[in-house]
């Protein structure tokens, strides 16, 4: 069995994916408050994390992971409709705290 096949059959617990998560979290810090490490929520996973959410627990900001790319933009460069659209798609997996209080955009009016 190849490593790839093994990952596809066991998406949760392989050393390869654990290593990727660790590397991602080692590199990334919140661009706003510089807090580190960020909390990672995985929504969809293949060999890499396809979709997910990085959460800064210090300032309550969230950063989408879309098509394996973490989007780490400062507030002024973010798109309200895109961010809320992303949260809507994964609403059942997004922490409630982020839906209600996440920055820069959330569902509470
Ligand atoms: Zn932060």
- Does residue 109 form part of some domain? no
Residue 106 lies in a domain: no
Q: What is the pLDDT along the chain (109 residues), one digit of tens a residue?
A: 344 434 444 445 566 666 667 777 888 899 999 999 999 999 999 888 899 999 999 999 999 999 988 999 999 999 999 999 999 999 999 999 999 999 999 999 6
Q: CA-based Rg of the chain, rounded to a whole angstrom?
A: 15
Say how many Å lie between the CA of residue 8 and the centre of ligand 1: 33
Residue 80 Cα to ligand 1 midpoint, Å, equals 18
Distance 12 CA to ligand 1 centre (A): 27
CA 28 – ligand 1 centroid, Å: 11
> What is the tally of structural domains in the chain?
1
Distance 2 CA to ligand 1 centre (A): 39
Q: For residue 51, give its domain range.
A: 3-101
Burial 28-67 (b: 16+ CB within 10 A, else e): bebebeeeebbebbbbebeeebebbbbbbeeebbbbbbee
The tokens describing 66, both together, are 């879309």
Burial environment of residue 107 by CB neighbours within 10 A (0 to 12, 13 to 18, 19 or more):
middle
């Amino acid at each position: 069995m190849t490593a790839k096949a093994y990952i596809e059959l066991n998406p949760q617990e392989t050393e390869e994916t654990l290593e990727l998560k660790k590397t991602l979290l080692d590199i990334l810090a919140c661009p706003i408050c510089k807090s580190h490490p960020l909390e990672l929520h995985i929504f969809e996973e293949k060999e890499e994390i396809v979709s997910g959410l990085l959460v800064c627990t210090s300032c309550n900001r969230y950063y989408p992971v879309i098509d394996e790319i973490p989007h780490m933009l400062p507030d002024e460069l973010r798109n309200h409709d895109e961010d809320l659209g992303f949260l809507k798609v994964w609403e059942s997996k997004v922490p409630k705290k982020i839906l209600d209080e996440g920055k820069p955009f959330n569902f509470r009016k």
